[in-house]
Amino acid sequence: MSSLILILVLASLGLRGMLLAILVGKGLHRAYPFFLAYVSFSILSSAVRLAVRDNYLAYFYTYWATEAVYTLLSLFLILEAFRNIFKDFYLSKAFQVMLGCGGIAILILAAGTPIGQHVAVSSVTAVILSANLVVSLLQMSTLLVVLGLIVFFDTKGHGYEVGIVVGYGIFASVHLIVLALRSQLGPHYQSTVTYAPTVAYMISVMVWLFTFLWSNERSALTQEHVRMDGPAETSEQLGALTSVYKSFTRKRRIG
């Protein structure tokens, strides 16, 4: 581990400690249990990795064990953010079926992605890498969906959930770009590839810290435009959906 990466990891560790204190201090740990678990585990795993960094075998097993937990927590974090952002639709049977199909697709992709055929790793490590890749794709996709909704509905994009999505979306995007370019870049650019994920994660932590430190409200993007409060609101709901649909088709005709 180079000195620069060590400094960045230690700085990120301190910022995550501040983020954890803010989550608990504002009482937001009850509303975002998986984000709390993710931040708490990231602090613990980083500390353990630093403690065993000079022992290759211990670091190897620690790294891949914690990566497996990271992947699982990241998946739950996506679902938590989705549930809060799309609160109006989350209880819909169709939406639940869609999420279930997405979960099955993740398992199939994680088990079927032929990473082990291209990288000299064990079968267990290949599954972890495959699952990590799929979750990173989901994180980046969620970021694009949320940003698309912000632009389409012309919202301010405020709220804790949006900050969470933007934070992990930044890291996932850089992670995927690095994976795509690693084999294409020459030896002169390998240092950039090595430092990029660490710097990106630092930026993600700063986004989360900024979000929970200065934002004072939660928001579901769809609630500002489409509400489902009961049978009495059916006509208003249909009117809102029609307006959104007309706006969307009008934009397509103009384009």
CATH number at residue 156: 1.20.1070
Query: What is the band of 106 on the pLDDT scale with cuts at 50, 70, 90?
Result: low
Judge whether residue 201 has pLDDT over 70: yes
Is the entire prediction scored with pTM above 0.85?
Answer: no
Answer yes or no: do 9 and 65 share one domain.
yes
Structural domain of 155: 3-224
In degrees and rounded to multiples of 5, residue 92 shows phi and psi of: -70, 135
Q: Does residue 229 contact residue 235 with C-beta atoms inside 8 Å?
A: no
Q: How far is CA 45 from CA 66, 68, 160, 183, 255, in A?
A: 6, 11, 24, 28, 48
Q: How many domains does the chain have?
A: 2
Which of 74-78, 89-93, 244-248 is the most confident on average? 74-78
Say if residue 209 is in the same domain as residue 145. Answer: yes
Same domain, 55 and 163: yes
Average pLDDT of every residue of the chain? 74
Q: Quick one: which of 223, 221, 179, 215 has its CA closest to 197? A: 179
For position 231, what pLDDT does the model report? 42
* Domain identity same for 70 and 108: yes
